[in-house]
Structure formats: C-alpha cells, structure tokens
C-alpha cells in the first residue's frame, strides 16, 4: 500500500499515476471539500488526462482526512504545499506531517514537497522511518504526461535502490537517477531556477535596441538548434570563472545593447558582475592558505588553448598579489605582457623552488601543488 499526504497537483498526480501502475493507494488531505469531490470522481485541478482517469477509477481509490488510515504502510509520499515565505519556503506543514507519521510505523517516507534548504534533512530524522527525497518535475496541465515521460526522475537517500518505489519506477517508467537526499532537492530547485533564467534570458534578447529589425522567435529557434553547446551539458560544470576572447566581450556587448543599458541591472551586466565575484572568492580562498609566496602554473583561460586573453587565472593572481608575493610560469608566456607584480619562472621546477604553494590545473605530483578543482570557494 502507498499513502499520499496532500492532494494538490503533486499529490493527486502521484496517487493516480501509481494507481495506473497497479498499486493500491490511499489519499489523505486535510481539506474535506477536496476529499469529498475526489470520492465522487471530481478533480479539483486542471489536467484532462488525470480527470479522465479519476472519473473511471475513483471507486477503487480511498480518499480520507484521517492520517491514521495509513497506519503501518510501507511507503508514504508527503506532497503537502511549501508556500513562499519571506523569500524562502514555509516547511511547517512538512514537519507537522513528519511528526504525525512518526507514530504510525511507516517504513519509508518520500518527500515530494519542494524544500529550499537541503540541510533541513539533518533535522528530519524520525525514529521509525527511512526518509527519502522524491522531487517532482511536473508542469501544471501536463502532470500525467510528465509523470509517465519525465524530463528527469531523481530519488535521493541511502539505500533507495532497495525500495519497492525504485523497483516500480525502474520497471514501469525508467531507471531513476540516484543521489543523496540533499543532492536530489538541489537538482529540483536548480532546474526551476534554470528555467526561470532561460525565460529572463530570452526576454533580455527581445529587449535589444534593434529588436524591431529582427524576429526574436526565429533567433531563439536557431539558438536552440545548437545541441552541442547551447542546449547541452556544455559549460554546466562548476569551476573557474569564464574568460577568453569571446564570452566576456560578447556578454558585455549585449549588456550595452539593451534598452536599459545605463541601469547596470540587466541580466548580462549581472552575469559579468557575478563572474567577477567568483574571482574574488577564489582569491580569498587562496589567501586562506596563509602562504607568503604563491605560484601559479598554467595561465591559459582554458587548458590546451595557449590563449592568455581575459584569463580568469591571471585576474585571480592579480587579486592575490595585493596580499602576498606571486610567481607564475606558463609555456605560452613568450611575448606576453603580464602585470609587473608577477615574478616569472621559466619552468615548473623553478616555480616550486621559489614558492610555498603552487596552484595549477595540471596533474602534478608534488606536496606543494594544489589543483584548482580542490580549492573550495
């Protein structure tokens, strides 16, 4: 048996779709009016396929306001709302349901409600239950379709692959991505924020000074056809700030090309601003090593390009040089101009000899060396 607590979009979709997969379900909601409607086969949200399924199958599903109806269930989905509150989410209903379920001997509790602070899982430990994260990726009006053909399916928690829910989803729909509870929640909110970013990005393109001379829909159609870089995993890997000859100048060009270019508040200005802030964070992290002489080996904006233009590594090193002595080395330094505060070494060995710490993106075995990937910002 599977119990579903909270019968809004996420809850009723979970209930009806798992029922369609052949499972016995009990739906629980504190709103008596909603429960009575569902008992009569009336759907309280707009989704044609969910409505059609409920009208044909409601007599085989139990709906109730009594949480005790899910006593001793193996799996419970928590789908109660987490409404916005002062810029965050109100998790009080999730916590309340968890406290009540803790007395009902539930084996597995699956949190489908959106949580904005993954650290909350540290305080959601119950005495009797395993807690897993099962974030939803459902669009209103297309919930049925998104459940059975999901853009993503993620289950979070230790031992999640041993559960019946994982088995059902793997056999009936697709094999879920598995991670920690905190990672699963982070994926969910990151996806929605990225969708919001795409909307804002597209609207900023529409806001260009020459928008009357172009078909923005056609521009974005062509833009979206690039599945190698634009609509792909490309660039979606945390690391050093962007640099090089193209990304900075083109982003700055767009920042100056929108109608409100003097406000310093358009999206493209913010991209440049946030990129500069990442450089500052790296510099602060490097200075925390408390070394008097620091070396940087490899200054290219991207390894293997030989190009030092707009290198974020040079910019970070300049910030570090305000507090300590800097040595640098790069095989591409010939005929290149560097800030006067940099001392140049002709080889890696010379750099190591002169420095207490060397930072690089190369795999080099030396106790003084730390890779960029290992610097926490």
pLDDT band for 19, please (50, 70, 90 cuts).
very high
Quickly tell me which residue has 């009575």 as its tokens.
36
Confidence at 175, pLDDT banded by 50, 70, 90 = very high
Which sequence spans correspond to the domains of the chain? 2-181, 238-377
- The pLDDT, as a whole number, for residue 79 is 96
pLDDT, one tens digit per residue, over 93-105 is 998 998 888 888 8
Question: What phi and psi values does residue 27 have, to the nearest 5 degrees?
Answer: -105, 130
The whole-number pLDDT of residue 90 equals 86
Cα–Cα distance between 3 and 116 in angstroms, integer?
Answer: 24
Give the Cα separation of 356 and 292 in Å (integer): 7
The domain 2-181: what is its CATH number? Answer: 3.40.50.720
**Residue 69 pLDDT > 80, yes or no?**
yes
Nearest residue to 113 (alpha-carbon basis) of 94, 138, 88, 90:
94
Sheet holding 2-5, edge to edge: 62-64, 25-28, 2-5, 75-78, 108-111, 130-133, 154-156, 177-179
Q: In angstroms, rounded to a whole number, what is the distance separating the alpha carbons of residues 34 and 344?
A: 72
| Selection from 319, 360, 318 nearest residue 339 by Cα | 318
Residue spans of alpha helices (H) in the chain? 9-20, 32-39, 48-57, 92-101, 143-148, 164-172, 181-206, 216-224, 247-255, 267-287, 312-320, 348-354
* pLDDT band of 126, cuts 50, 70, 90: low
* Cα–Cα distance measured from residue 69 to residue 285, given in angstroms and rounded to the nearest whole number: 53
Mean pLDDT of 63-72: 93
Q: Do domains 2-181 and 238-377 have the same CATH topology?
A: yes
Could you tell me the pLDDT band of residue 2, with boundaries at 50, 70 and 90?
A: very high
Count the neighbouring beta carbons within 10 Å of the beta carbon of residue 265.
Answer: 10
Rounded mean pLDDT of 173-182?
Answer: 96
Handedness of CA 259, 263, 264, 270 (dihedral sign): negative
pLDDT band per the 50, 70, 90 thresholds, residue 264? low
Length of the chain: 377
- What pLDDT, on a 0 to 100 scale, did the predictor assign at position 337? 74
One DSSP character per residue, 124-184 reads ---SS-EEEE------TT-HHHHHHS-S--EEESTTGGGSHHHHHHHHHT-PPEEE-HHHH
Extract the tokens encoding 284: 């602060």
Which residues, listed in sequence order, are joined to residue 80 by a DSSP beta bridge?
A: none
pLDDT at res. 83: 82
* 208 SS3 class: strand
- Choice between 225 and 261, residue whose per-residue pLDDT is larger: 225
**Rounded CA separation 174/30 (Å):** 32
Quick one: what percent of the chain has pLDDT higher than 90? 76
Q: Which two tokens stand for residue 171?
A: 């056999």
What does pLDDT average to over the chain? 92
Tokens read off for 55: 């009208």
Least trusted range by pLDDT, from 248-257, 333-342, 356-365:
333-342
- Tell me, what's the pLDDT at 15? 97
Cα 45 to the chain's mean position, in Å? 28
314 vs 307, higher pLDDT: 314
238-377 under CATH 2.60.40.10, yes or no = no
User: CB neighbours of 317 closer than 8 A, spacing ≥ 6?
Assistant: 296, 299, 326, 328, 342
Across 137-146, 162-171, 313-322, least confident range: 137-146
> What confidence score (pLDDT) does residue 36 get?
96
pLDDT range class, residue 273, cuts 50, 70, 90:
very high
For residue 228, pLDDT over 80 is answered with: yes
């Amino acid at each position: 048996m599977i119990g579903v607590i909270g019968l809004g979009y996420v809850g009723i979709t979970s209930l009806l779709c798992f029922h369609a997969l052949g499972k016995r379900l009990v739906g629980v909601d504190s709103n008596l009016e909603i429960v009575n409607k569902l008992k009569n086969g009336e759907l309280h949200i707009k989704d044609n396929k969910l409505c059609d399924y409920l009208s044909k199958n409601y007599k085989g599903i139990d709906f109730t306001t009594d949480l005790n109806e899910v006593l001793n269930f193996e799996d419970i989905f928590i789908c109660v709302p987490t409404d916005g509150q002062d810029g965050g989410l109100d998790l009080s209903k999730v916590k309340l349901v968890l406290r009540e379920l803790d007395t009902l001997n539930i084996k597995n509790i699956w949190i489908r409600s959106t949580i904005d602070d993954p650290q909350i899982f540290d305080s959601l430990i119950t005495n009797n239950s395993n807690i897993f994260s099962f974030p939803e990726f459902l669009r209103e009006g297309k919930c049925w379709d998104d459940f059975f053909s999901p853009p993503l399916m993620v289950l979070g928690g230790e031992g999640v692959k041993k559960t019946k829910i994982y088995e059902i989803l793997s056999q009936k729909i697709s094999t879920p991505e598995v991670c920690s509870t905190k990672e699963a929640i982070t994926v969910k909110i990151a996806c929605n924020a990225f969708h919001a970013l795409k909307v804002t990005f597209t609207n900023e393109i529409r806001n260009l000074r020459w928008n009357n001379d172009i078909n923005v829909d056609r521009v974005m159609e062509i833009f979206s056809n690039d599945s190698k870089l634009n609509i792909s995993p490309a660039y979606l890997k945390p690391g050093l700030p962007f640099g090089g000859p193209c990304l900075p100048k083109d982003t700055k060009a767009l920042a100056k090309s929108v109608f409100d270019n003097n406000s310093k508040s358009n999206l493209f200005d913010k991209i440049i601003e946030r990129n500069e802030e990442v450089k500052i964070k790296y510099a602060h992290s490097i200075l925390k090593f408390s070394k008097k002489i620091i070396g940087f080996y490899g200054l290219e904006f991207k390894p293997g390009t030989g190009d030092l233009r707009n290198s974020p590594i040079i910019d970070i090193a300049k910030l570090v040089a305000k507090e300590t002595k800097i040595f640098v080395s790069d095989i591409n330094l010939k005929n290149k101009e560097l800030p006067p505060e940099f001392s140049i070494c002709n080889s890696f060995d010379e750099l190591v000899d002169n420095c207490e710490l060397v930072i690089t993106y190369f795999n080099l075995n030396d106790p003084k060396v730390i890779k960029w990937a290992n610097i926490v910002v």
